[in-house]
Amino acid sequence: MLEEAVKLASDSQAYYDYLCVVKYAIPRLICEKLGLPMPLKYHRNPWHICSEAGYEIFYRARLVDILPPYCVPPLPGDFVTDSPLLEEAGRIILSEEVV
């Protein structure tokens, strides 16, 4: 996952600033995995990491199916389709009339 994130962050043709994933998400994942205390700068992250960017990195690393559906942030398209995470949060599925 780290290799794919670095590749995307280095791509000048990328449509998204993938550097925020390398700078904020990867170090936080490593700290959590090793049970290390979280540095203060990761408690309040000023960068918004788009779920599409996260999905792209997991997809390229061939790790798309590693997390159960309720752990995956909803993609923008999930707001008009079924999303286990949104249902768990108490959201309703939009009807065709609304969409």
pLDDT of residue 23: 74
**CA 45 to each of CA 15, 21, 41, 94: distance values in angstroms, whole numbers, following the listed order:** 21, 11, 7, 31
Residue-wise pLDDT for 19-73, tens only, equals 777 777 777 777 777 888 877 766 655 555 666 667 777 777 777 676 655 555 5
The ranges assigned to domains in the chain are 2-65, 67-99
pTM for this one? 0.41
Tokens 């599409």 found at: 52
Confidence of residue 13 (pLDDT cuts 50, 70, 90): confident
For residue 35, what are its two tokens? Answer: 């049970």
Tokens 């490593």 found at: 30
φ/ψ of residue 51, rounded to 5: -65, -30
Q: Is residue 9 over pLDDT 80?
A: no
